[in-house]
Amino acid sequence: MKRRVVVTGIGVVSPVGLNVPDFWTNLIAGKSGVDNITYFDTSNFDTKFAAELKGFDPLNYMDRKLSQRVDPFTQYALASSQEAMKDSGLDLEKIDHERAGVVFGSGIGGMWTYHNQQNNLYKRDGNPDRVSPFFIPMLIADIAAGRISMAYGLKGPNYATISACTTSAHSIADSVMLIERGDADIMVTGGSEAVICPMGVAGFNAMKALSTRNDDPQKASRPFEKNRDGFVMGEGGATLILEDLEHAKARGANIYAEITGFGLTADAFHITEPAPEGEGIGRAIRLAIQNSGMTVNEIDVINAHGTSTYYNDKNESLAIKNIFGEKAFDVPVHSVKSMIGHLLGAAGAIEAIAAILTIRDGIIPPTINYEEKDPECDLNYVVNTAMKKDVKTVLSENSGFGGHNTAIVFKKFED
C-alpha cells in the first residue's frame, strides 16, 4: 500500500503578507496586494503595476553575505522555508537527514540577476570581467532547492521542477510520490518567483498577457469577470513540509491536511492557449479525484487557477462543468490571484496553502473585483466576500504555458 502523505508545516512570503497569519487574514478580508511598480521606471511600459513583495527585507532571514549571493527568488524561497520549518516543529537533531529531501521550483529563476549582470557587461564596454562569478549560481532555477537543502542539511532527493505556472504544483506532486514509494520520510516543497523586472514585464506585455488597467491597478485582477483584460504579475515564495503519516504521528506533529491524490496532464495543443473547453485541465481534475478514491460529489471547494485572462477563465470554467456536471453549479469556486496576482512558478504552492487553510478554518477567500457576470463563466464563484463553509476537501488546480496541467486534492486529516 502507498504511504499516506500529510502536510505538517507551511510558510509564505506574499504580496498581502510576509508570513502565514498575515497572508491568510488579508486573503479572507479581500485585500488587494496590487499597486504601481516601484522597482523600476515604468514610463514606457504598457503595464505599470504588479503585486510586489512590500516590506520584504532579506536580512530578516539571512546574513548580508548570503543575501548578496542569491537572487530574490532564492531569498523568497529561503524565507518561506524558514517559516515552514519552524511551523513543522521538526527537530533537525532527531531526523534522518538522508531521508529528508527538497523539491522546490521556479518557473523562470533569477531574472533579476540576468538583468543586472547583463547591464554590468554591456554598460561597461562589454568587458566580461564585469560579470560576477556568482552569476550562474544565482541565475539557475534549481539553486533555491540546493540552498534550502544546505540550510537544513537535507541529504535526500533534491531537485527543481520547471513547468511555468504549474511548477510548484508539480513540486508538490513529485514530493508526494517520493514519500508514497518510500524514498523519503520528509519533503520540503514549493516554489518561488521574482520576475517583476523590466524584462519580465516587457516580455509579458509583448505577448499581450498582462492587464493594462493602469487607472485602477487594485481592480485589475478580476478572474471570471466579464471585463477582465489580462493577468497581474505577482511575486513571492511558498513552502510546504510534507511527511509520511506514520513519521508525523510518531513525533506528535500538527497535521494540517492530507494529500490524497493528484492528476498531471498535457494539452499538447498550443504554447500559451489552453486546449478547447479546458480538455487538458479537465483530465487532470478527473485523475486527481479518481486517484483520491473520491467522486465529484465529495469535493467541497475548487481553488481555481483563475488567471483573469479571457481564454484561461473561459476554458477552466468549461472544464469544471464537463467533469462535475450539475455539481459544477453548486461547488464554490474561487481564485486568490484576484488579490495576490499571478505568482507564476510559485502559484501552485501558495494556492495549495490557501486550500489547506480553507480546510482548517472553514472559510473560502473571495474572488475580488467581480462586478459584471460573464455568460461564458457561469459557475458558483465566491465573489467579493469570503464564504463560511464546513470544508473537508479542496481541489486545487493549475495550468501553465506549454500545455502543462495539475490538480491536487487536499483533505481534512482523519486518522
Q: Residue 125: pLDDT band by 50, 70, 90 thresholds?
A: confident
Q: Residue 2: pLDDT band by 50, 70, 90 thresholds?
A: confident
Residue after which a domain boundary falls, among 219, 250, 281? 250
- H helix runs in 269-381, sequence order: 279-291, 310-324, 337-340, 347-361
Same domain for 331 and 278: yes
Same domain for 225 and 88: yes
CATH of the domain at 29: 3.40.47.10
pLDDT per position as a tens digit, 3-30: 999 999 999 999 999 999 999 999 999 9
Same domain for 246 and 112: yes
Same domain for 284 and 237: no
pLDDT at position 124, please?
Answer: 74
Give per-residue burial for 241-253: e unless 16+ CB within 10 Å, then b.
Answer: bbbbbebbeeeeb
Is 255 part of any domain?
A: no
Which residue in 170, 247, 342, 404 is the catalytic one?
Answer: 342
Is 222 part of any domain?
A: yes
Same domain for 130 and 166: yes
Which residue in 170, 247, 305, 404 is the catalytic one?
Answer: 305
Cell of 259: 494529500
pLDDT value at 363 more than 90: yes
pLDDT per position as a tens digit, 61-95: 999 999 999 999 999 999 999 999 999 999 999 99
Task: Give me the mean pLDDT over the 159-184 stretch.
Answer: 98
Instruction: Let me know if 165 is a catalytic residue.
Output: yes
Whether this prediction's pTM lies above 0.95 is answered by yes
Q: Which of helix, strand or coil describes residue 121?
A: helix
Give me the chain's average pLDDT, please.
Answer: 97
Same domain for 275 and 243: no
Same domain for 219 and 187: yes
pLDDT per position as a tens digit, 254-278: 999 999 999 999 999 999 999 999 9
Same domain for 207 and 67: yes
Distance CA 347, CA 353 (A): 10
Q: Which of 167, 145, 335, 188 is nearest to 264 (CA)?
A: 167
* Contact assessment for residue 147 and residue 158, using Cβ atoms and an 8 Å cutoff: no
Stated as kind and residue range, the H or E segment containing 77 is helix 72-88
pLDDT at position 126, please?
Answer: 79
Distance CA 104, CA 213 (A): 33
Instruction: Let me know if 342 is a catalytic residue.
Output: yes
Same domain for 220 and 103: yes
Is 256 part of any domain?
A: no
Which residue in 165, 197, 247, 404 is the catalytic one?
Answer: 165
How many domains does the chain fold into?
2
| Angle, CA 328 vertex, CA 359 and CA 220 arms, to 5° | 75
Distance CA 183, CA 96 (A): 12
Task: Give me the mean pLDDT over the 294-313 stretch.
Answer: 98
Task: Give me the mean pLDDT over the 216-240 stretch.
Answer: 98
Instruction: Let me know if 305 is a catalytic residue.
Output: yes
Same domain for 270 and 303: yes
Contacts of 157 (CB under 8 A, 6+ apart): 101, 102, 103, 178, 183, 184, 187
Q: Which of 235, 163, 233, 192 is nearest to 74 (CA)?
A: 192
pLDDT at position 281, please?
Answer: 98
Same domain for 266 and 243: no
Distance CA 181, CA 157 (A): 13
Give the range of the structural domain holding residue 44, as residue numbers without chain letter: 5-250
Residue after which a domain boundary falls, among 200, 225, 250? 250
